[in-house]
Structure 1
């Protein structure tokens, strides 16, 4: 019986709203796994009898409450395990059309392993629990549609004629082991048959802050993208310093015109709230993408691994330029505290859309 919900919120909520949405899920079940910044898993097996509804009915409750309380819609996949629930959401996002409760639609033709495709209007998609229905749902899915199968593995499988979940499931395990290796072959073979033993693991989201800049038009100019990252880094730096925190890691997410996304992250040399350090890391992550003429819809910056500033150490450099930069930053913070956040801004500041 379907009992796992994979919930994808859209538009992506801010940190405070995301925490509220997790608490909303916690009203239905204590078994909630946070998948920041915009998704979560919930095992509602223990809540079905209490609420007198099936899992799809609970998913509709989640949608209504998220919209009513936070103005955030969501697409919910309902299935017997996290793998199938995720795939139901990916299918809904690519089809672009809401599904009726319990509905099931045909194959999808693109990435399902990671950071995202476009989203449809909120909907609930259910994969029935009986084996024949699961086999029908998976049959025409390409390898890349299986969460956990990356582009390289998908290309390798397709090169051997294993270009659908049905063909992978029908292939002898020994054949897959020669192609992929023993461990990967066992996982992929199970996924192609809709088997996912991984449980929903209750957790707390990593302490983080994030911000996004949405361009008014699809942006081709890398200079404007860097200006947007500068603006985001400056805002996050102020928030960190105001709250007395530093960040240990940073990530950049780029959303394209087709609504697909790419995310890159790195651990900082040392935990910091220093805007130039955050900006330099953001620039490096952006430049490493090699976007060239990519049409970019938005860029987002997220700092993670937050801790109290008093717990972090700073490596002295004896660099007068670094010392001067930090003194200027402290003076700018004092001006902001007295005259408002817009009193001091970077020269390349972009108004956040």
Structure 2
């Protein structure tokens, strides 16, 4: 029996938040735009391509962004608008396949191995989807098409913005060979640094390492790294992908210095995080505290409990137990965050034809 080759599309909206703002305010078109607040503790949520030319990036402090681009235009975020546009875009995806895995408001994987409508190729479907998005929302999207998720995501970055690229069967291993491992989805900055220290700079370097050697250094993740170095990724498109965590964080206008201020801030965060858990009918067993000092050094501490959380008070108590060993503070705190993971439900009294990649 011939093994079926999957057809995966990764759709990634181009500078999504900033592009929505430029669409809705024509005076912003062609100008460097940052979605966020221009204030001492502000952070850039998204940047237009005109702003990225100056080195402005998401998650960058607003004042640093303004220094890099003095004529940068800040626009406050409108998340309700972004969510509505995202829902429209996902309705376009659903015309072609029920197998959709959202990664965020602005990107998703689609498995179009067996699409809902007849088209000559996965490439043609990607072209259709991008054209429909532009016609119906006024926004551009980029697409990557390949035989697995890892390569499709790499491909969508290859012709950004407003383009698409195909990595056909048999080409994946060569495509990743020259790429820096730090550009691989699934390899974060810390792991990339560890790989670099071992002499692993590119996909070809990673491929040269035997699986057993990678396992000694990277444990269970080694099999995934070994696979992608060979252009292999067996992960399916997960339609109802379970949420892995719920969290909130706050950047303060002024640094916090006292225990009382930190406890007050943690109480507010715990209340908000637990409200999110209740809304989704979820609880969790692992609580992570994130603390960023005024000098941008960051500390994370986590604790796992035997039974799922039952209320905001318990979440606060665990969060405080993680904070206490960090006191007294060596300097002010500019950001605090709480995340609940190891999610679970709280305790209670729940034939189209196969396509080719190319047109």
> What TM-score do you get using the length of structure 2 for normalisation?
0.50
- Is 1:166–2:204 an aligned residue pair? yes
**Compared CA separation, residues 143 and 226, structure 1 to 2 (3 A):** farther
RMSD: 5.5
Cα deviations by residue, 1:224-281 (Å, 9 ceiling, x for unpaired)? 676444213223445767x796723465586989xxx998766544334422212233
- Determine if contact 1:29/1:47 at 8 Å carries over to the other structure: yes
1:38-68 deviations in Å (ceiling 9; x for gaps): 8643212323853677343355368569969
Distance 1:263 1:40 in 2: 29
Q: Give ranges in structure 2 of 5+ residues lacking alignment.
A: 1-5, 18-44, 47-78, 350-359
Question: For 1:1-353, what aligned pairs fall within 5 Å after superposition?
Answer: 3-5=8-10, 24=91, 25-33=93-101, 40-47=108-115, 50=118, 54-57=124-127, 60=130, 77-88=144-155, 98-102=160-164, 126-129=165-168, 131=170, 135-136=174-175, 138-149=176-187, 154-155=192-193, 157-169=195-207, 171=208, 174=210, 177-178=212-213, 180=215, 187-206=224-243, 210=246, 212=248, 214-215=250-251, 221=256, 227-237=264-274, 247-249=283-285, 267-284=304-321, 299=337, 301=339, 305=343, 307=345, 310-311=348-349
Give the conservation status (yes or no) of the 8 Å contact 1:48–1:55: no
Structure with greater contact order relative to length (CA < 8 Å, sep ≥ 6): 2
CA deviations 1:209-230 (Å, max 9, x no partner) are: x56455375x754766764442
Query: Is 2:151–2:172's contact at 8 Å kept on the other side of the alignment?
Result: no
Q: Deviations over 1:2-50 (max 9, x none)?
A: 6332658867979xx5995896344432223355798643212323853
> Are the equivalent residues in 1 in contact too, given 2:215–2:223 (CA < 8 A)?
no
In structure 2, the CA distance between the partners of 1:267 and 1:86, relative to structure 1 (3 Å rule), is farther
Separation of aligned partners in 1, 2:132 and 2:242: 19
SS in 2 for 1:46: coil
Change (3 A) 1:149 1:30: same
Take 1:21 and 1:263, find their aligned partners in 2: how far apart are those partners? 37
More helix by share: 1
Aligned mates of 1:27, 1:265 — CA distance in 2: 42
Once the two structures are superposed, residues 98-149 of structure 1 have per-residue CA deviations (whole angstroms, 9 ceiling, x without a partner) of: 52312xxxxxxxxxxxxxxxxxxxxxxx45336558734x344333433444
Structure 1, unmatched stretches of 5+, are 103-125, 312-353
Distance in 2, Cα, partners of 1:226 & 1:66: 47
Q: State the TM-score, normalizing by the size of structure 1.
A: 0.51
> In structure 2, do the counterparts of structure 1 residues 287 and 196 end up closer, same or farther at CA, with 3 Å as the change threshold?
farther
**Distance in 2 of aligned mates of 1:289 and 1:35:** 34
Cα distance, 1:197 vs structure 2 = 2.5
The answer to whether the Cα contact below 8 Å between 2:288 and 2:303 also exists between their aligned partners in 1 is: no
Residue of structure 1 in register with 2:76 after alignment: none
How many correspondences in the alignment? Answer: 269
SS at match of 2:283: strand
